Amino acid sequence: MIISHCRLTKNIQTRLLEYFVLEVTARSAANILGIHPNSAIANIIKQFDVVAVQEIRDKEGLAIIKLLGEVNSTNDDYSIIVSPRVGRTSSKEQYAIFYRKSNLQIEKDGTLWPDTQDLFEREPYMVMLKAINGTFDFVLVDIHTKPDDSAKEIAFLPEVIRFAAEYYEEPDVLCIGDLNADGAYFDEDSYQTIFPYSSYLWIIPNSADTTVGKQSNTYDRISATSTIQEDWTGEWGVYRFDEAEAFSSLGIDAASLTDHYPVWASFYIDRDSK
């Protein structure tokens, strides 16, 4: 499962943690949540206002609902929107977006990009959100590329972003997810050709290491249309949750949960003029 997050704070910033990979199946989620009632995953989610999740493979849909229950175990502050199952093979996945109801609302329902030419292994999922106590609204595009096809799929993402902006009539678009945009899968030097600085913000740069393992790779990305510049505080990061005391005290190996770290960025909620 991959998770991306956004924290809204006043004056006002929103901390957007945009990506976290946790493989979620019925068995893995049951094991994690059963052994650790105060789930490490839920604790991570509750640090942020928006959490985009990928690699949900539970056919019954119970694992993600159980995770939502764990997140809301102390209060009912989060809601969730879940995509249809996507993928060419029998091993299909879903996207899910957790959001803090006191800070954000769904402005327009989620939809899959209409992949009429079968360009993606898993069609990107998108939804429009708005800050309840501010003017900041944006479209969140969540994408998990197929590793072996990542170069081709990444090249088509600007087209997906344009569609999202037109479909929701909203120029501020954030594209997040496990793009497999480094290492043997993708030449990160070509990222500038696909997402030129004149039109896009690179919120997560090539220098970031978003993987839990020993190798340094920037698989996970946050890119945005340049119109979101006025909303972005300039802050971003890779959330190394296993270094936090609350997590380390649980005695859980980070690699047992995920091989990716979440990536985040902060946004003002009161400066949006578009």
Residue 73 lies in a domain: yes
- Judged by average pLDDT, the poorest of 14-18, 31-35, 49-53, 108-112 is 31-35
Rounded Cα distance, 272 and 136, in Å = 5
pLDDT above 80 for 30:
no
pLDDT score recorded for residue 201 = 92
- Please report whether residue 190 resides in a domain: yes
The one-letter amino acid at 225 = T
Residue 101 lies in a domain: yes
Supply the pLDDT for residue 32.
39
pLDDT in tens, 237-250: 887 777 666 666 66
> Does 273 fall in a domain?
no
Residue 17 lies in a domain: yes
CA distance 138 to 224: 10
Q: Which of 42-46, 95-99, 144-148, 221-225 comes out lowest in average pLDDT?
A: 42-46
> What does pLDDT average to over the chain?
82
**Window from 39-43, 121-125, 142-146, 244-248 with minimum mean pLDDT:** 244-248
Task: Please give the tally of structural domains in the chain.
Answer: 1
pLDDT at 2 over 60: no
Give the amino acid at 7.
R
Residue 58 belongs to some domain of the structure: yes
Q: Indicate the burial class of 254 (C-beta count within 10 angstroms; 0-12, 13-18, 19 or more).
A: middle
Q: Is pLDDT at 273 greater than 60 in this prediction? A: yes
The domain of 36 spans 2-268
Residue 26 belongs to a domain with what CATH number? Answer: 3.60.10.10
